[in-house]
Chain A
């Protein structure tokens, strides 16, 4: 039995934060129905990236929405809204990522939905929460990275504030809302009661920084300073960072400096024997190390360091990565198929259950592809017919 067998999720959300959460719920066995606006649907359908498309559609839409169904409804049309409310009566989870007030205006806020389905798990993702002066601002990944201090943690100190190059805020908010939904579903199994689950992108990206923010709150509120040389973490001592060799880059994690000096045959590094200096003088140490490592290729250094159990790794790009046996054995790539017969290769769910990968061959739905099937499955009628018996 799948973990979320027989759980019905109505997902009103768009782009990445909400849909990435419902993707994971789908992977775990829930039936996820995207409720989309007729004509346009989830705006992500047309969010083309990198000038790449799959049969005229966005690659990222396919990645985020595989294994889901699509039901179109104009929530401003009373007849469509009537149908959606019948679906809600059968659902376990309703989720959305509209700005505060939107679901209230439609009449699908938590209290209204609870009238229809008293034990509903109602999950909402916002940008900045439902209160405060920024509540109506767009919850967009780069902007949240920028206001949360996150951009002052990556890259070298002489570089501009540097955003993380993946939509980390969306993805974290998605994992947090999924955690809240799942905990609430478990709680419902015990108490019989539903819940309101709320996450904001702002709170999620602060939680992500919990280790270093706690440091800031308790150290007299001193701002972090990124290293000047090969910076990988503003709070970690040398040699932590990525280093250019005479061919590729290598990564060095926390390591004792004299041991490293000995192994690498780096005389000038030996003077840094006091571990208190490894943070305070990290730029000097890393400069010495960086100069030394330029002399030989990556494989040479990694051979020495791996044999001595030093924490190190090659730095790979995707072209390098996919050639590695360690990557191929993970079977991370899966090919899904849309109803039009288009194949899309994407990544699978990273969670394994009872030793099995969670796989589904179903691709992303076409807009409104499942209206008829869903209405049939749940016995949905239109307003003129009245509610089914």
Chain B
């Protein structure tokens, strides 16, 4: 019976907040042993970053969410003795992740060349904000700032809104995801060559890659994509794509032939538009549609649309979603045992292997929880 695919892989995580630690979390879920390297006394800054003032112990619920299933080793990298121990760990590890500013690891003598000299098989993976050169290289790599600088905030909301950011840390998460792909690619090559790799990702490049459809279209025309003024779903897409009010809530309607839609929901006025105008006159079309949809309840419209095989759905909040059988059958929630004998609930890894969900009840580590044990192991 085979185990998880990354069993036997040791990852040293010199990272804080979300981008690097989210990559470490995915590797842990896939079977790697992930050791957070933290400063004695304080640890990574994410331990003290809470949302809604939710705390599990000394650490925020947010920290627990991102760092479950990892170990913690404390070391003062400015202390020669501690640094010597870290170098011993580096000699044994397979992957090193950091998301410090470009020069920080170098100051501690842990830049790629130094680490490669200790361990030529190391997959050395780093996340920066904006890359290592140019006028932005020292700007803070913070999610909202990256969203703002990459044009992303002009994709969301209606054309008459100001720029609207994504309400989730998309830059951090995309960079973490890209880093995981690079690390795994590096490990696959190492199986054949025995050699390590340097994997570099920036939040900026990750967010530009994320917008590759929009940007490729932009490069073709050099015309800034415009958000629809009515029910904007995605700037590139034609009517009816968007979310509309109904008599009792909302409905999401994806791409479809506007004449088929007109016939299905009995909206004759939609027939006044030619199909070829679905993009160029989308605001007018969507205005007509919006005025029609508001007359009946969501379920009424969904009944008609689904019977016709058209792409439409409810717009749910989390309470409504978690009550759906479709949500419950996923088994997406998992319990984590926290040290105080209680449990917290979080989401599991979204990847299933060989038909099995990847579950793990192990909590985030206390600061330095594993330091002594790891020291004993390496001596």
Contacts and interface: CB of A to CB of B under 8 A. Distances in A.
Contacts of B225: 50, 318
B61 A215 contact: yes
**Chain B binding surface, main DSSP class:** mixed
Interface string A294-314: 000000000000000001111
A256 to B, nearest CB: 14
B341 interface: no
A118 interface: no
B177 A195 contact: no
A313 B161 contact: no
B330 A244 contact: no
Interface of A: 1-5, 7, 16, 24, 28-29, 49-52, 54, 59-60, 62-64, 128-129, 131-134, 137-138, 140-143, 145-155, 159-168, 171-172, 175-180, 182-187, 189-191, 193, 195-200, 202-204, 206-219, 221, 223-224, 226, 231-236, 240-242, 244, 249-251, 253-254, 279, 311-321, 324-326, 329-330, 332-333, 344-347, 349-355
Contacts of B149: 313-316, 321
Given A129-B329, A207-B350, 10 more contacts: A3-B182, A5-B192, A63-B213, A64-B213, A142-B241, A147-B326, A150-B168, A176-B177, A189-B191, A209-B347
A349 B202 CA distance: 11
Nearest to A201: B350
Nearest to B186: A3
Contacts of B184: 179, 182-183, 185-186
A220 to B, nearest CB: 10
Contacts of A5: 189, 192
Nearest to B234: A165
Interface of B: 2, 4-8, 18, 26, 30-31, 51-54, 61-62, 64-66, 130-131, 133-136, 139-140, 142-158, 161-170, 173-174, 177-182, 184-189, 191-193, 197-202, 204-206, 208-221, 224-225, 227, 231-238, 241-243, 245, 250, 252-255, 279-280, 311-319, 321-322, 324-330, 332-333, 344-347, 349-355
Contacts of B191: 186, 189-190
Contacts, number: 466
Contacts of A319: 224
Contacts of A179: 26, 30, 177, 180-181, 184, 351
Nearest to B68: A214
A360 to B, nearest CB: 15
A184 B7 CA distance: 11
Contacts of A250: 148
Nearest to A24: B181
Given A143-B311, A155-B157, A198-B355, A214 B131 contact: no
A352 B199 contact: yes
A332 to B, nearest CB: 5
**Chain A binding surface, main DSSP class:** mixed
A365 B81 CA distance: 57
Contacts of B64: 214
A39 B312 CA distance: 28
B353 A196 contact: yes
B250 A214 contact: no
In the complex, the 3 A-B pairs of residues with the closest C-beta atoms, listed nearest first: A187-B5, A165-B155, A153-B167
B330 A146 contact: no
B188 A185 contact: yes
Contacts of A216: 318
A185 B6 CA distance: 10
Contacts of B53: 279
A159 B161 contact: yes
A231 B144 CA distance: 11
